[in-house]
Amino acid sequence: MTRLAAIACLLTGCLDAELAADQTSLEVPRGAGTSVHLTIGSQPVAPSDVTWLVDDPAIVTVARTSDGEGLRVTGLGEGATAVHFGAGGRVIDMPALVDPPAIVQLWIEPVSVTVPTGGTVDIRATAMDTTSTLRDVSDATTWHLMDPGVARLDDMALVGATPGSTMLQASLGDVHASAAVTVY
């Protein structure tokens, strides 16, 4: 808490107030992070005035953001632990759960498909997760052709049916990608 905030705290009676966070628990995928903001009463606590202890530092890490305006908790390893934040003589305990990496980007290869009528082109879906790992997720992806009269999917191949254009869409959870398809 800054000196100005401490004076305001004295005037408004927040000395009896508890340390509070904008979240009651933390849940992040491995490789991702979330911001935490603390208050005492209605007064924000400056990140420079916060200390912390993590029960299992192999699961999460805490750091001040690069701009010094916040705290960032990042998932390092999957599992459960607790983070203990302290400020102004008060402590708050926050459970933290780190889940498996989450998919953050998905794309279709090839990016656009041109195929003759009756011809085939192999397709696949590649994803990047929160640990920046690339994975072939073709089998786990939901595929959809906007106009199945122009082309059809046969296992992991796109088959040209009639001349025209359509879009191939891929979805994996909440992440989506599309590719233009032209059949000649």
Q: Each residue of 114-165: pLDDT tens digit? A: 999 999 999 999 999 999 999 999 999 999 999 999 999 998 999 999 999 9
Burial class (CB in 10 A: 0-12, 13-18, 19+), 99: middle
pLDDT greater than 70 at residue 6: no
- What does the pLDDT read at residue 42? 85
Report pLDDT for 56.
97
The answer to whether 35 and 72 have CB atoms below 8 angstroms apart is: yes
| Residue 73 confidence (pLDDT) | 96
Sketch out the chain's domains with CATH numbers: 3-99 (2.60.40.1080), 103-183 (2.60.40.1080)
Check pLDDT > 60 for residue 44. yes
- pLDDT averaged over every residue in the chain: 91
pLDDT of residue 7 exceeding 80 = no
Residue that wins the pLDDT comparison between 119 and 70: 119
Band of residue 172 on the pLDDT scale cut at 50, 70, 90: very high
Work out the percent of the chain whose per-residue pLDDT is above 90: 84
Q: What strands lie across the sheet with 38-40, from one edge to the other? A: 19-21, 38-40, 43-44
For the cut 70, the answer to whether the pLDDT of residue 1 exceeds it is: no
pTM of the model: 0.73
Find all residues with CB under 8 Å of 77, minimum gap 6, and list them: 30, 58, 59, 98
Judge whether residue 70 has pLDDT over 90: no
Confidence check: pLDDT of 4 > 60? no
User: Which of the two residues, 13 and 102, has the higher pLDDT score?
Assistant: 102
Which tokens sit at 16?
A: 């009896």
